[in-house]
Amino acid sequence: MKNLGPVQQKMLILLLGGITLSLVGTPTQYFRALRAMRREWRKINQQSFTRSVHALCQKKLLEEIRHKDGSVALKLTPDGRKHAGFFQLFGKTLKIKRLKKWDGLWRIVIFDIPEEDKDFRDILRDHLKQIGFYKLQHSVFIFPYPCESAIISLVELYNARPYVRIITATTIDNERQLRKKFTLSP
């Protein structure tokens, strides 16, 4: 995930919101979403906006389209849509609620992501580490708390479902070591 400041994140989400407006079902939902977007848009400082547009264009997340009449349109690139979708779903990182009492199940994420999608592979690894997953092998991570739906959402956002498996297991051969790693009582 490219490092983006709060204004840049908000801009991507607001631009994605423009796409979302075309998908809402009723006029009430449309105007409610439009009002919320307008309020957020007004909170962005003009100087920050200009810097952010420039930075987002350099990172190829946003495209400036100049019209003959002198007006400028901003368009999300496909990569920009992915980033905006991620921020809209998760904020800066995935948040996983840790249970007070462990349910006795291990969540194992394994992946084999092709080289052409190495950016997503790195993003997935970073998020798994931030959440607190333990690396069993190069593309195998383990975690003792429920996280399946958040991981699935991230994977689907990047259209990487064919390359990632999530296993929920009751036992693992090095469980004693893993319990110590996650400070789980026996």
Per-residue model confidence (pLDDT) at position 81: 75
pLDDT tens profile 118-158: 877 888 888 888 888 999 999 999 999 998 888 887 787 77
The answer to whether residue 165 scores a pLDDT higher than 80 is yes
Structure tokens at 58: 């350099």
168 pairs with which residues across the strands?
107
131, 94 Cβ separation under 8 angstroms: yes
* Class level of CATH domain 106-181: alpha beta
Per-residue model confidence (pLDDT) at position 184: 87
93, 132 Cβ separation under 8 angstroms: no
Burial of residue 85, with CB atoms counted within 10 A of its CB: 0-12 exposed, 13-18 middle, 19 or more buried: buried
Strand, helix or coil for residue 161 = helix
**Residues 6+ away with beta carbon under 8 Å from 158:** 82, 117, 120, 123
The answer to whether residue 1 scores a pLDDT higher than 50 is no
Structure tokens at 26: 């009723």
pLDDT tens profile 12-62: 666 666 555 555 556 676 667 667 766 766 776 667 777 777 777 787 877
Assessment of whether the complete model's pTM goes beyond 0.75: no
**All structural domains of the chain with their residue ranges:** 6-90, 106-181
Per-residue model confidence (pLDDT) at position 153: 78
Q: Select the CATH number that applies to the domain covering 6-90 from these four: 1.10.10, 2.60.120, 2.20.110, 1.20.910.
A: 1.10.10
**Fold matches, 6-90 and 106-181:** no
43, 35 Cβ separation under 8 angstroms: no
